[in-house]
Chain A
Amino acid sequence: MAAFASLGAQTTDLIPPGKADLRDTTQDATRALEAFLASVERKAFRIAQIALRHEADALDVVQDAMMQLSSRYASRPAQEWKPLFYRILENRVRDMQRRRNVRSRVMAYMPWRGEEDEDAVDPLDMAVDQGPLPPAQLESDEAMAALEQAIAALPARQREAFLLRNFEGMDVAETAATMKCSQGSVKTHYFRALQALRAKLGEFRT
């Protein structure tokens, strides 16, 4: 095995001195992909969590989206990664929601339904263990919870348009590419999402 290792070292030494940058191409691409994933992972998780209302499912969905982008689309130009990634993420979210719907329908016919619920939130996870929150933090948390609930209640396309435009900061063209629809549709979905959110969250208005 040592012979193979030394062979690899010799092979890299065969790269002509004038083209030394060739050996860094793969490492650069990996670093670029890692930087991209690091830049989107938190927002992607929050987007999935808001849609699914479940932390573990959101993590699974984000990981699936990362894996698919990395294994299938990493060779695409870096500027295409963001629309591709969020399209994959949204597809995964919908797959998860469909699976849940099917499971809940099947479970509804089972005689032992309600005895075991894997998706039930563990009360210990919900417990606040940091003592009383300051009023500003409490207000912020309550506002976030209300906002999250209102966004989750939006139709899927409106939710997607709102989160991509408002949270991820995509422009209309990028959002349209991600959602595979026209820019006019994006504007319509976004406008309707804003209207619905304003109607529910009146206190957000200034």
Chain B
Amino acid sequence: MKGDDIEAGSSEFERRTRALLLKSAEELPGAVRSRLTQARYAALAARPARLTPFARRWVPVGAAVAAVLALLIVYVPAGRSPLEGPLANAGLEDIELLSDNDAVPLNGDQDVDYDFYEWAANEAAGSAAPAVGS
């Protein structure tokens, strides 16, 4: 039973009160009507974003593909190096050499005693090679 049905089954008193109330709602001041419109738009803006059925179907698939790609990018280079054999871990050794404070400077520092290193290299070569006449 909607409005018209209520009219049909109601007394004159009910019809009169209803007419007065409806009139008061229709004749609201402009400022109130404006505030109500603002409230309506604020409520619509607060509505949680809903995905279309198309997006609902494909967004999870896209997220899964992105997750798999991220895993591949993160784990594959560490697990499988393109270099095989002794050079496989060369990258890490280079980093260790460069970060070692006690290592030989590689920038041509004038304070380096190259004569000492040359002597040491010769000594090492001499001890490794079989002595002449022995």
Contacts and interface: CB of A to CB of B under 8 A. Distances in A.
Verify that A and B bind, or say they do not.
Answer: yes
Contacts of B5: 171
B80 interface: no
Contact of B20 (A19, A63, A140, A206): A140
A38 B13 CA distance: 28
Nearest to B29: A55
Contact of A204 (B13, B40, B48, B53): B13
A33 to B, nearest CB: 7
B36 A59 contact: yes
A59 B32 contact: yes
A166 B23 contact: no
B16 A63 contact: no
Interface string B83-104: 0000000000000000000000
SS class, residues of chain A in contact with chain B: helix
Nearest to B4: A169
Contact of A45 (B3, B13, B36): B36
10 closest A-B pairs by beta carbon, nearest first, are A169-B3, A66-B43, A171-B1, A63-B39, A70-B43, A42-B25, A206-B12, A167-B21, A41-B36, A70-B47
Contacts of A171: 1-2, 5-6
23 contacts: A15-B54, A19-B54, A22-B53, A37-B40, A41-B36, A41-B39, A45-B25, A45-B28, A46-B21, A55-B32, A66-B40, A66-B43, A67-B42, A71-B43, A71-B48, A143-B20, A147-B21, A166-B17, A169-B3, A169-B6, A171-B2, A194-B14, A197-B17
Interface residues of B, number: 38
B47 A74 contact: yes
Interface of B: 1-3, 5-6, 10-14, 16-18, 20-26, 28, 32-33, 35-36, 39-40, 42-44, 46-48, 50, 52-55
Nearest to B11: A194
B44 A33 contact: yes
Interface string A70-87: 110011000000000000
A45 B34 CA distance: 12
A62 B3 contact: no
Given A37-B43, A197-B17, A59 B52 contact: no
B7 to A, nearest CB: 9
A22 B52 contact: yes
Contacts of A25: 52-53
Given A169-B3, A171-B2, A194 B13 contact: yes
Contacts of B35: 59
Given A22-B52, A71-B48, A165-B6, A42 B28 contact: yes
A198 interface: yes
A69 interface: yes
Given A147-B20, A147-B21, A165-B6, A70 B46 contact: yes
Interface string A13-24: 011000100110
Contacts of A62: 36, 39
Contacts of B39: 41, 59, 62-63, 66-67
